[in-house]
Amino acid sequence: MANYREMWEQLGMDLENHDNLCAVLPTAFGDVYLSQENRPESMDFWDMVVADIHGIRPAELIEEQKKGRKVFGTFCVYVPDEVVIAADGIVTGLCGGSQFWVPDGEAVLPKSTCPLIKASVGARLGKTCPFFRIADMYVGETTCDGKKKAWEILGKDVPMYVMDMPQMKRAKDVTKWMEEVEDFAAVVEKTTGKTITPEKLAESIHIINEKRKALARVYETRKADVIPISGKDALLMMQIAFFDDPERCAQMANRLADELEQRVKDGVSVFPAGTKRILVTGTPMAIPNWKLHHIIETSGGAVVCEETCTGTRYFENLVDETGTTLEEQYRAIAERYMGIHCACFTPNTERVDDILRLAKEYKVDGVIDVNLKFCCLYDTEGYVVEKALKEAGIPVLGIETDYTDADAEQLRTRIEAFIEMLG
Amino acid sequence: MAERLNYYILFATYTQGMALKDHLRSAGIPCRISPAPRSIQGELGCGMSLLLEEEHIEAAKQCIRENHAEYYDIQALPCQINAKRGRFC
């Protein structure tokens, strides 16, 4: 028997409270995922992962730790996985997407902090998530004020390293980010006891590029007139990608892409013809935050693309693989990551360009610009985003929400009205 | 009207669950992978279960026998799935 309870106990988790989380997940997953018809068979893999989300992967990580490998927990798509893997380390995502963790976060953070940060801090301090217990080192970054202060609190409880993100995208900022990547590499080498060589880094750059290509293949099928996969299922694949072994992630995403490409050829859609195609843009949706996608897809819409950190920002653009020296490779890594257009930058007109491009590529009928409550950056940038979309003649609905259930019906009413308005 | 039942096949390990899933799929018996509802999981460490509609459970039991497939238990529950419940994690 896979005795995960013993594993959780050894990790110092609060088993009683963790049981409460285990009790709500099956209901939520059933309502959101198992209520769907005609899902791709390849989603079996991700269903299995969720069914044992605090068991299978944590047990794998612990086995690797026993062999001497180190686990780095990250919170942001700017932290380069390539560097960790080149030093034989393992990366796991740590962003919290459940209201369950929020109260433990609010015990030390202001209520007016975004739910993602509160949930992430709460998952650690409340001892109710194995990934937060397993990670040998947390890697934060300075993408917003809330996170910067949260790292100081987490840093009292767990080894914490913070990468300093530039705020602008000038050439000198790319160079600064390259220096940050090099500094991070030195910390990773010290933690793992392994040296990063150009050969190792070339290999890890290739592994992560292959993962990006596989995820992009799945997204490519969502551009078709028939919609071969729901937005909820695509979101689940993306959310798990942050936790899984990158080579297995690529293998599973490629297998899913094979099935979806066949579905497109066969004209198989998971939505009735005429269902309105929606692009979701804005703040990330960490697992198990499925709320908005579920409401959209049970209100007459289909999410065909996400311009978020749990969407296209995670996999678009590859790291140049032609570098042969560490300097060239760190430069290539810095350039790729600085091409992610987060609202933490000013100016950030490239993100608006991306949204307009994606709206066209995925043939969307409308855009839902979602903002996690108290995320000042995305909330403020929403003005520019929504103005640009309106000028381009693309209907847009701005939404602010959190992880609670309280606004679910209100959101449904607004989204149903928006979709109806799309004709 | 009689309440519709869903059947959950529970396992000691997810490898047992995935093996039976493959057998069921090969036999054309519809099943879905689901987190085991906490009320029936008991002290089992594995959270994975296979969810079947009641009209397929007898065929599934036959498939289990034919393949000597390993499982822990089979439990019936009134259908738990409600897409419009509005409750999230």
Tens digits of residue pLDDT in A65-92: 999 999 999 999 999 999 999 999 999 9
Fold category of B5-78 in CATH = Alpha-Beta Plaits (3.30.70)
Q: Does B32 touch chain A (CB under 8 A)?
A: yes
pLDDT in tens, A346-393: 999 999 999 999 999 999 999 999 999 999 999 999 999 999 999 999
A50 in B contact zone (CB under 8 Å):
yes
The residue of chain B nearest to residue A100, with distances taken between CA atoms, is B89
Report how far residue A276's alpha carbon sits from residue A203's, in angstroms, rounded to the nearest whole number.
42
Confidence of residue A1 (pLDDT cuts 50, 70, 90): very low
The tokens of A160 are what?
Answer: 């914490």
- pLDDT tens sequence across A291-321: 999 999 999 999 999 999 999 999 999 999 9
Q: Are the beta carbons of A275 and A300 closer than 8 angstroms? A: yes
What pLDDT score does B43 carry? 73
Minimal C-alpha gap between B1 and chain A (Å): 21
Mean pLDDT of A137-148: 97
Q: Looking at A107-163, list the stretches that DSSP marks H as alpha helix, in order from N- to C-terminal side.
A: 115-125, 130-134, 145-154
Structural domain boundaries in chain B = 5-78
Helices (H), B7-82: 14-26, 38-41, 57-67
> Pick from A34, A298, A409: which is nearest to B34 by CB?
A34
Looking at residues B85-89, what average pLDDT do you find?
90
Range with the lowest mean pLDDT among A52-56, A191-195, A315-319?
A52-56
Tally the residues of chain A: 423
Chain B residues closer than 8 Å to A48 by CB: 14, 17-18, 33, 48
pLDDT of residue A3: 75
Mean pLDDT, range A283-293, rounded to an integer: 97
Contact list in A for residue B83 (CB cut-off 8 A) is: 31-32, 35, 294, 298
Query: Which residues have C-beta within 8 Å of that of residue A192, sequence separation ≥ 6?
Result: A69, A70, A87, A88, A89
Residue with the bigger pLDDT between B3 and B34: it is: B34
pLDDT at B57 > cutoff 70 = yes
Mean pLDDT of all residues in chain A?
A: 97
Full-prediction pTM beyond 0.95? yes
Window 55-74 of B: residues touching A by CB (8 A cutoff) are: none
Considering only the beta carbons, identify the residue of A21, A28, A48 that sits closest to B33: A48
**Domain segments of chain A: what residues?**
4-22+50-421
- Please give the average per-residue pLDDT across A108-113, as a whole number: 97
Does pLDDT of A158 surpass 60? yes
A2 band by pLDDT with thresholds 50, 70 and 90: low
Domain A4-22+50-421 part of CATH 1.10.3720.10: no
- Identity of the residue in B38, B41, B86 whose CB atom sits nearest the CB atom of A408: B86
A414: contact with B, CB 8 A cutoff: no
| Tens-digit pLDDT profile for residues A217-227 | 999 999 999 99
Q: What is the pLDDT of residue B5?
A: 93
Using CA atoms, how far apart are residues A406 and B1, in angstroms rounded to an integer?
A: 32
Q: Which residues contact A370 (CB under 8 A, 6 or more apart)?
A: A280, A281, A282, A283, A292, A399, A400, A401
